[in-house]
Amino acid sequence: MIKYLSMIGEHTIQITVQSAICLKIQNLFNSINSTNQLTSINVKIKFGYGESFTDYQVSIKKDANKISFQRSDYLIESTPDYTSATIHVHDELALKHALMNLYSSYIVYHNWGLLIHSSCAIENGKAHIFAGHSGAGKSTAARLSEPRALLSDEATIVKISENSITVFDSPFRSELPSTGYQQPTPLAGIQLLQQSEKIRLEKMRKPDALLSLMDKVFYWSHDPVETQRIMGLLRTLVEKVPVYELYFRKDPTFWELIS
């Protein structure tokens, strides 16, 4: 077994993995030099579990000492505060999804922020999120944003506090691999995508924005306490950052409306 440190958001993750597959894992979650920061999450990764991905159905079991998330291709066994977990996975896709599941649970539990189903690009030192239902054009918007740097193409890591809303470089990539680590960037706005022949940008009312974002958060647990935390975080988010409906067609002209 090999132990190494990686970073997700501003959290240090200690990953323990069989040496034979360590390099493969490090492609997904880069190794960093030791830090003076305390380790936030300890993760032990074991391959050889279950079968290939069949669907997104996750069953959750919880008792006083442990919470587990089980899908056909992964099993997470974690402490209830998500600081220490063993992840059994079938393959790399299962590992990515399992770590998203664990990390999203961790940041909600600790009231740090949210993992939002969206892409995010940087323009003039400010982050702009593109969210929408499946097929609305999150990846397309990310691709059309070149040569702007991307913080995410599928799952955006958003730190939410009363003082600031900050987006962190996401290792949870789908189609567009990272072109190099991007520094944490203040969030300027959220665009909810609607495909349309005519481009336009309309600012949403905050209650509408909050409700539209609820189903864009990656979250698995059905614990009422944690649902309340998500509501609180989303409320702070829409209080601090404008949310727009962006009607766009597949060309980069929408950036003229945003910047």
- Specify the DSSP class assigned to residue 20: G
Name which of residues 194 to 213 contact other proteins (CB under 8 A).
205-207, 210-211
How far apart, in Å, are the Cα atoms of 89 and each of 44, 50, 93, 98, 187?
Answer: 11, 7, 9, 8, 34
Q: What CA–CA distance (Å, rounded) separates 61 from 67?
A: 6
In whole angstroms, the minimum distance from the beta carbon of 114 to other proteins comes to: 15
Site for other proteins, residues 229 to 248, rule: CB under 8 A? 231-232, 235, 238-239
- Are the CB atoms for 59 and 70 separated by under 8 Å? yes
- Between 46 and 235, name the residue whose CB sits nearer to other proteins: 235
CB 55, min distance to other proteins, A: 20
Shortest reach from residue 126's CB to other proteins, in Å: 24
* Span 68-97, contacts to other proteins by CB under 8 A: none
Count the residues of the shown chain that bind other proteins, applying the rule CB under 8 A.
Answer: 14
Q: Which of 179, 228, 253, 259 binds other proteins (CB under 8 A)?
A: 228
51 contact partners, CB below 8 Å, separation of at least 6: 72, 73, 90
Between β-strands 200-203 and 150-152, what pairing exists: parallel, antiparallel or unpaired?
unpaired
Residue nearer to other proteins on the CB measure, 198 or 222: 222
Identify how many contiguous H helices and E strands the chain contains and give both numbers: 6, 15
Specify the residue, 202 or 239, whose C-beta has the smaller distance to other proteins.
Answer: 239
Q: Which is nearer to other proteins, 32 or 211 (CB)?
A: 211
Distance from C-alpha of 224 to C-alpha of 258, rounded to nearest angstrom: 36
**Which residues here bind other proteins, judged by CB under 8 A?**
205-207, 210-211, 214, 224, 227-228, 231-232, 235, 238-239
